[in-house]
């Protein structure tokens, strides 16, 4: 189930949020702490105005909420709102039973909230939040919460791949606890939100904004990742990197899986330790994954087989499981060549200038060298340029000498990260001037038009964007993952 966390300040705003997201969600969480005080007073009416079950929550500031009331006032407000037709009430694990007894003007005696809710068959969620870490006693905490007869909920913050493994182990460690909610918050936890069923979690939360660290939208969770439709037969694929969430690869693979009705999902994993990820890959029986910076070399000691390109380039961007071992491939090599194969074959590209000498440049330079193109590598660090040039029998120079190559090359390839993120709008080679006859090839795909491409376009050059290479290498990965050609009718939204 996907649960939409409602962050509107009025009940009307929240009704609209439910309507807008209705086709993707199974239930909603009304956050009393987000509501205006006047709206809080009439919150009990909310469940009858929407057609999904609703969880009632009034979250303290210390638990990631906005409520700054004293504890007695907070619980009284929760009690008044709980008179509505809610399906679940979320109460923090440290709230004592004695604090849940209230004076009600309609009754002559004190009312026990827990007892009243159970009589009305409203389920109680007992929640524990930790914004710092995954506590060492997390399995014990879940068991303790479940022993009270309530639904245990733990929302914790993994700080490493080993913490992520701890969360995915919840299901095997506590399979006897049927109904539980397990959430990994923050960037490391996003994979646990998507693969929540693998943690044994009853549901996963989503929101239109970021109501909690790591929230994705309901649409992304349901349409892109199909998180609510995954089952025990779903093949898991992914991409590992650090950082990783800028990647557009899920927008290639997940629509491809759906188009050919292949029961699979492609998930981003933020990875600080390749060794720990391979442990997780065995645990989740991951079938294959893409590799981005900084792990294209780090994965190689864990591979049983590698292709000729990986051996030559020293860079692996694709790993698949075959015959109980991991095989490493490099689809960047062929993905880069795909848009220019004809131009190389027709002798339109005989010389190339490659900007940069990092991991991406290695695949580019080797691919061009192996196809008989004379390459010059220019880079800020002359040492890196010299090292790659010596391996590939290329020419090398410093970036400040880029102007010396004006008008003398057929192809210019931009392989650095200059032009994206904090460096968006920056020209990676300001002294180089296009004549208009070159093919300009940019490896960055976000933004779609970099300063490098704008300069080339203004000069009248032919343009190849990073999206084209991303799509080409992605289609080759898709074939390696599934054994099927990528569906040609899919237009990936890159």
Strands 318-322 and 288-291: antiparallel
| Cα dihedral value 85, 86, 89, 90, nearest 10 | -150
10 Å CB burial of residue 76 (0-12, 13-18, 19+) is: middle
Rounded CA-CA distance 432/491 in Å is 34
Which residue in the list 197, 296, 327, 455 is annotated as catalytic?
296
Tokens at 396, concatenated: 């090398």
Strands 325-329 and 439-442: unpaired
Rounded CA-CA distance 229/238 in Å is 17
Tokens at 237, concatenated: 């694929």
| Greatest Cα-to-Cα distance within the chain, rounded to the nearest angstrom | 94
Strands 151-156 and 181-184: parallel
Contact 332, 362 (CB under 8 A): no
Cis ω on the peptide bond leading into residue 243 (within 30° of 0)? Answer: yes
Which CA distances in Å does 303 have to 211, 288, 323, 366?
40, 12, 12, 22
Which element (helix H / strand E) includes 208? none
* Residue 229 DSSP code: G
Strands 101-103 and 351-355: unpaired
Tokens at 68, concatenated: 């700054």
Which SS3 state, helix, strand or coil, does residue 461 take? Answer: coil
Question: Which residue from 64, 62, 63, 46 is spatially nearest to 54, judged by alpha carbons?
Answer: 46
Q: Among all chains, which residue has been given the structure tokens 């032009």?
A: 419
Which CA distances in Å does 268 have to 160, 189, 265, 335, 477?
14, 10, 10, 21, 15
* Residue 39 DSSP code: H
Question: Which residue from 443, 470, 18, 74 is spatially nearest to 250, judged by alpha carbons?
Answer: 470
Rounded CA-CA distance 224/21 in Å is 14
Buried b (16+ CB within 10 A) or exposed e, 277-296: bbebbeebebbbbbbbeebb
Rounded CA-CA distance 236/285 in Å is 7
Is 455 in the active site? Answer: no
Rounded CA-CA distance 225/259 in Å is 13
Contacts of 389 (CB under 8 A, 6+ apart): 377, 395, 396
The Cβ-side half-sphere exposure at 120, using a 13 Å CA radius, reads: 16
Task: Cite the active site residues.
Answer: 296
């Amino acid at each position: 189930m996907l649960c939409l966390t409602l962050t509107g300040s009025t009940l009307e705003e929240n009704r609209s949020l439910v309507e807008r997201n209705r086709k993707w969600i199974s239930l909603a969480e009304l956050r009393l702490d987000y509501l205006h005080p006047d709206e809080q007073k009439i919150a009990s009416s909310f469940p009858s105005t929407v057609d999904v079950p609703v969880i009632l929550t009034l979250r303290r500031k210390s638990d990631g909420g906005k409520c700054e009331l004293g504890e007695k006032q907070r619980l009284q407000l929760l009690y008044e709102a709980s008179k509505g037709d809610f399906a679940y009430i979320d109460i923090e694990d440290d709230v004592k039973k004695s604090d849940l007894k209230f004076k009600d003007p309609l009754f002559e005696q004190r009312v026990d909230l827990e007892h009243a809710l159970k009589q009305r068959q409203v389920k109680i969620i007992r929640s524990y939040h930790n914004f710092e870490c995954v506590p060492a006693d997390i399995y014990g905490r879940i068991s303790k919460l479940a022993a009270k007869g309530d639904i245990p909920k733990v929302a914790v913050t993994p700080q490493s791949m080993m913490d992520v493994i701890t969360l995915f182990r919840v299901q095997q460690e506590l399979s006897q606890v049927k109904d539980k909610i397990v959430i990994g918050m923050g960037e490391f936890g996003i994979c646990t939100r998507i693969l929540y069923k693998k943690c044994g979690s009853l549901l996963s939360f989503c929101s239109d904004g970021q109501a909690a660290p790591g929230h994705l939208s309901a649409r992304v969770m349901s349409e892109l990742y199909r998180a609510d439709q995954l089952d025990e037969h779903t093949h898991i694929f992914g991409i590992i990197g650090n950082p990783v969430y800028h990647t557009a690869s899920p927008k290639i693979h997940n629509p491809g899986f759906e188009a050919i009705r292949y029961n699979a999902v492609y998930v981003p994993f933020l990875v600080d330790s390749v060794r720990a990820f391979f442990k997780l890959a065995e645990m989740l029986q991951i079938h294959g994954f893409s590799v981005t910076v900084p792990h294209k070399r780090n994965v190689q000691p864990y591979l049983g087989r590698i292709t000729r390109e990986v051996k030559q380039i020293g860079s692996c961007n694709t790993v698949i499981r075959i015959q109980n071992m991991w095989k490493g491939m490099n689809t960047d090599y062929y993905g880069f060549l795909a848009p220019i194969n004809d131009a190389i074959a027709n002798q339109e590209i005989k010389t190339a200038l490659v900007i940069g000498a990092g991991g991406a440049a290695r695949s580019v330079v080797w691919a061009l060298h192996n196809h008989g193109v004379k390459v010059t590598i220019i880079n800020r660090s002359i040492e890196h340029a010299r090292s790659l040039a010596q391996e590939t029998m290329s020419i090398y120079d410093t970036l400040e000498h880029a102007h010396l190559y004006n008008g003398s090359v057929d192809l210019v390839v931009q392989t650095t990260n200059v032009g994206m993120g904090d460096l968006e709008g920056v020209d990676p080679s300001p002294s180089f001037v296009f004549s208009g006859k070159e093919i300009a090839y940019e490896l960055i795909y976000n933004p779609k038009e970099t300063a490098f491409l704008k300069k080339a376009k203004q000069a009248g050059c032919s343009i190849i964007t990073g999206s084209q290479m991303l799509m080409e290498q992605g289609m080759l990965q898709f074939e390696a993952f599934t054994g099927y050609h990528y569906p040609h009718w899919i237009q990936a939204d890159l």
